[in-house]
């Protein structure tokens, strides 16, 4: 090639190189390319928005199965593919917004601030300072339409005894359930026999000298003359010694009869299973069940609830959080990771729910599904888990649950009758701290207050546990609080009873539903679900059980439902654990009705 050709080739290479450099520089200074990260962020946000709309459309399109909500969620996930944790949280927020908006519109009552005052001095309750252990037991023991009390005393000179409701907001002292200096732990009440007009039974667990000397539980039949008759050996449960903590009555095979689960502390040199399950075979007899899947559960306390809405009661246990789903007659499966997958793996769940002291079940947004509130100690933040129909999502931050402390107990109820469930958290400290009441705002959030009037004096023990309940059936929830440490006698305290004195002009309407046994005495009241249809597609859901659980279990069968400004409800339905139902149409507000056999 001649010199001229070589020159042209060199010139062309120079031009190409220069053009390449210019292109690189232009690309570097191109505002479109510089905004690529922003465009990618907008693209992801748009994709997420489309995904949320897709999920909501799917949930609206999928049929609603009232007695199997888990099936609906499974169908949504099958159609849309697995959700991410963020998607589940977004979906929860959207559902809360829809559910609460519909309920607010129908109920029409703005939340009012509570007003309680102390009536302990004239209540007839003991004024002695004693040690406490997991709160009171509240139940209509003699079936006269008024709540009676069992007040446990732990390793104290004073006896654990019954207090009978006189019907006017005061109580008379009854027989002792256990004498003084007994290591009394959890107590529960329920109907273990269904034939005839049966009163309730009491189950009492006792400690075991730090595991060295396990004790057999005690059981009592409440006689019609208000005498307590010992019946543990007669019923077939008096021979098994345990390190007792939390007895729970629960229908485990949907036959309507209450079975019995003893949730125990670990024993030293333990022989046999730690937890014990008895089946109710009828005629006042219990039979120990084997291979239930719960015998070796690492648990001390339990809440009886229904995690997936299938009508079969499940167990939520702690202080090491585990969720046991009933999968058949006397069969449990640990579904913790499945139900709490949005919180991460097993280690993340343990961290996120560390330090649990008490748990309550409530439908805080009136969507018909029961949610869970966890009260936690050691300055951990309390946790509110929303039930999505087959799993739970932590909505604590969105709901305004950001308080920390040493919280030993929790109870739930509608204190202002606006139709939304409120929460009371019991606080432990160097002195008796003012407890925290969380007022449901009806939009998926709570506002905390200490200005509620249910204030215990600073020198009255320590915060333990309490329950909302109706003392005098006036339609406004009252409050019983146990004050006192478990073991430190210098921190003993009394029982405090507070009357709800909210003026009628600030309180909404109410309905009281007294639940008896199912038709033909086929099912006990404990565990029955009450649904109040107030119209407009809004159904208020309550369960016969405890309004929060620690070691003890109440039977709140005189069910209170706040109605806001609704003057008449469309229907009231009770569904018992064996599937039997009873229904009443067009019931006036501010009234009391009875459903079932009494």
Sketch out the chain's domains with CATH numbers: 9-82 (no CATH), 115-501 (2.130.10.130), 509-595 (2.60.40)
pLDDT of residue 66: 52
Residue 80: the pLDDT is 61
Q: What are the beta bridge partners of residue 541?
A: 531
Of the candidates 541, 262, 303, 562, the one whose C-alpha atom is nearest the C-alpha of residue 409 is 303
Residue 132 confidence (pLDDT) above 80: yes
Averaged pLDDT for residues 310-314? 92
Going along 443-557, which residue ranges are E strands? 446-449, 463-469, 478-484, 492-500, 509-515, 529-535, 538-543
CA 262 to chain centroid, in Å, comes to 19
| H-run or E-run covering 237 | none
CB atoms closer than 10 angstroms to residue 231: 18
β-bridge pairing 184-190 and 201-206: antiparallel
* pLDDT of 8: 43
Is the pLDDT at 333 greater than 50? The verdict is yes
- Compute the C-alpha angle 30/33/34, nearest 5°: 85
CB atoms within 10 A of CB 30: 11
Residue 53 has pLDDT above 90, yes or no: no
The mean pLDDT value of the chain amounts to 90
pLDDT at 389 over 50: yes
Q: Which of 79-93, 135-149, 274-288, 559-573 has the lowest mean pLDDT?
A: 79-93
Helix/strand/coil for 540: strand
pLDDT surpassing 90 at residue 406? yes
CA 297 and chain centroid, separation:
20
For residues 336, 339, 343, 346, the Cα torsion angle rounded to the nearest 10 degrees is: 20
The total of other beta-carbon atoms located within 10 Å of residue 176's CB is 15
Tell me the C-alpha distance between 272 and 249, whole Å.
22
Query: What pLDDT is recorded for position 150?
Result: 98
242-256 mean pLDDT: 96
Res 542 pLDDT > 70:
yes
Q: Which of 109, 105, 103, 102 lies closest to 415, judged by CA?
A: 109
The neighbouring-strand residues paired with 582 are: 574
Banded model confidence at residue 79, pLDDT cuts 50, 70, 90: low
What tokens appear for 76 in the block?
Answer: 């949504």
Q: Is the preceding peptide bond at 170 cis, omega within 30 degrees of 0?
A: no
171-180, 230-239, 527-536 — which is least confidently predicted? Answer: 230-239
CA dihedral 581, 368, 410, 453 (to 10 degrees): -100
Banded model confidence at residue 3, pLDDT cuts 50, 70, 90: very low
Bridge pairing between strands 591-595 and 509-515: parallel
Task: In whole angstroms, give the CA distance from residue 276 to residue 271.
Answer: 12
pLDDT category, 264, cuts 50, 70, 90?
very high
CA within 13 Å, CB half, 353: 30
Question: Which of the residue ranges 39-43, 333-337, 351-355, 412-416 would you say has the lowest mean pLDDT?
Answer: 39-43
- Assess whether pLDDT exceeds 50 at residue 564: yes
Alpha helices in 232-389 (DSSP H): 232-235, 336-339, 346-352
Backbone phi, psi, residue 107, to 5° = -75, -40
In which element (H, E) is residue 188 found? strand 184-190
**pLDDT mean over 62-80:** 57
Cβ-based burial of 210 (10 A; exposed 0-12, middle 13-18, buried ≥19): exposed
- Mean pLDDT, residues 206-229 taken together: 87
Q: What pLDDT shows up at residue 27? A: 45
Q: pLDDT tens digits, residue range 468-515? A: 999 999 999 999 999 999 999 999 999 999 999 999 999 999 999 999
How far apart are the C-alpha atoms of 220 and 254, rounded to whole Å? 24
Which residues are paired to 532 by β-bridges? Answer: 540, 572
pLDDT class of 71 with cuts at 50, 70, 90: low
What DSSP element (H or E) covers 314?
strand 314-318
Question: Predicted confidence band at 195 (pLDDT cuts at 50, 70, 90)?
Answer: confident
Q: Which helix (H) or strand (E) holds 88?
A: helix 85-107
pLDDT band at residue 238 using 50, 70 and 90 as cut-offs:
confident
SS3 state of residue 1 = coil
- Percent of the chain whose predicted confidence (pLDDT) is above 90: 77
Phi, psi dihedrals of residue 423, rounded to the nearest 5°? -135, 140
- What is d(CA 246, CA 65) in angstroms, rounded to the nearest whole number? 33
| 3-state DSSP assignment of residue 91 | helix
Return the biggest CA–CA distance within the chain: 128
- Burial (CB < 10 A; 0-12, 13-18, 19+), residue 481, is buried
Q: What is the CA radius of gyration of the chain?
A: 29
Strand partners, 514: 558, 594
Mean pLDDT for 333-361 is: 96
- pLDDT of residue 189 exceeding 90: yes
Over pLDDT 70: what percentage of the chain? 87
């Amino acid at each position: 090639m001649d010199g001229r050709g070589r020159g042209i080739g060199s010139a062309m290479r120079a031009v190409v190189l220069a053009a390449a450099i210019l292109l690189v520089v232009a690309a570097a200074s191109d505002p479109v390319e510089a905004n690529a990260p922003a465009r990618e962020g907008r693209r992801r946000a748009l994709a997420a928005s489309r995904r949320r709309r897709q999920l909501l459309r799917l949930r609206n399109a999928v049929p609603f199965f009232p007695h199997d909500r888990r099936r609906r969620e499974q169908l949504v996930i099958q159609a849309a593919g697995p959700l991410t944790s963020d998607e589940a949280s977004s979906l929860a927020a959207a559902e809360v917004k829809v559910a609460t908006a519909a309920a607010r519109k129908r109920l029409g009552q703005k939340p009012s601030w509570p007003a309680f005052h102390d009536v302990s001095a004239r209540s007839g309750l003991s004024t002695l300072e004693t040690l406490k252990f997991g709160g009171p037991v509240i139940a209509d023991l003699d079936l006269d339409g008024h709540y009676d009390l069992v007040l446990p005393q732990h390793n104290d000179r004073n006896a654990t005894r019954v207090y009978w409701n006189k019907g006017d907001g005061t109580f008379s002292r009854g027989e002792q359930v256990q004498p003084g200096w007994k290591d009394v732990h959890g107590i529960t009440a329920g109907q273990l026999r269904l034939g005839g007009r049966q009163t309730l039974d009491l189950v009492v667990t006792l400690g075991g000298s730090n595991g060295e000397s396990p004790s057999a539980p005690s059981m009592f039949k409440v006689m019609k003359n208000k005498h307590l008759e010992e019946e543990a050996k007669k019923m077939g449960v008096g021979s098994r010694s345990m390190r007792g903590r939390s007895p729970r009555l629960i229908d485990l095979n949907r036959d309507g009869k209450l079975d019995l689960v003893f949730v125990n502390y670990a024993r030293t040199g333990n022989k046999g299973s730690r937890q014990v399950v008895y089946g109710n075979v009828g005629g006042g007899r219990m039979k120990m069940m084997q291979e239930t899947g719960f015998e070796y559960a690492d648990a001390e306390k339990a809440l009886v609830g229904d995690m997936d809405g299938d009508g079969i009661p499940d167990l939520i246990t702690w202080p090491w959080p585990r969720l046991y789903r009933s999968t058949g007659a006397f069969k449990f499966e640990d579904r913790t990771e499945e139900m709490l997958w949005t919180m991460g793996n097993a280690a993340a769940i343990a961290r996120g729910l560390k330090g649990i002291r008490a748990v309550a079940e409530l439908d805080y947004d009136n969507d018909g599904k029961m949610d869970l509130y966890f009260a936690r100690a050691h300055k951990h933040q309390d946790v509110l888990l929303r039930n999505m129909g087959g799993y739970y999502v932590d909505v604590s931050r969105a709901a305004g649950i950001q308080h920390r402390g040493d919280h030993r107990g929790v109870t739930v109820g509608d204190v202002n009758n606006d139709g939304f469930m409120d929460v009371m958290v019991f606080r432990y400290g160097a002195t008796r701290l003012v407890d925290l009441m969380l007022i449901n705002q009806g939009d998926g959030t709570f506002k905390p207050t200490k200005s509620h009037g249910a204030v215990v004096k600073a020198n009255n023990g320590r915060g333990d546990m309490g329950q909302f309940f109706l003392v005098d059936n006036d339609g406004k929830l009252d409050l019983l609080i146990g004050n006192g440490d478990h073991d430190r006698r210098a921190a003993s305290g009394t029982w405090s009873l507070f009357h709800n004195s909210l003026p009628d002009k600030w309180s909404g309407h109410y309905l009281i539903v007294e639940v008896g046994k199912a038709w033909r005495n086929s099912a006990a009241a404990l565990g029955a679900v009450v649904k109040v249809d107030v119209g407009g597609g809004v159904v208020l859901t309550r369960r016969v059980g405890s309004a929060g659980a620690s070691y003890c279990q109440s039977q709140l069968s005189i069910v209170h439902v706040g109605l806001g400004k609704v003057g008449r409800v469309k229907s009231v339905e009770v569904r018992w654990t064996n599937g039997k139902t009873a229904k009443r149409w067009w019931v006036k507000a501010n009234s009391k009705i009875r459903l079932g056999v009494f």
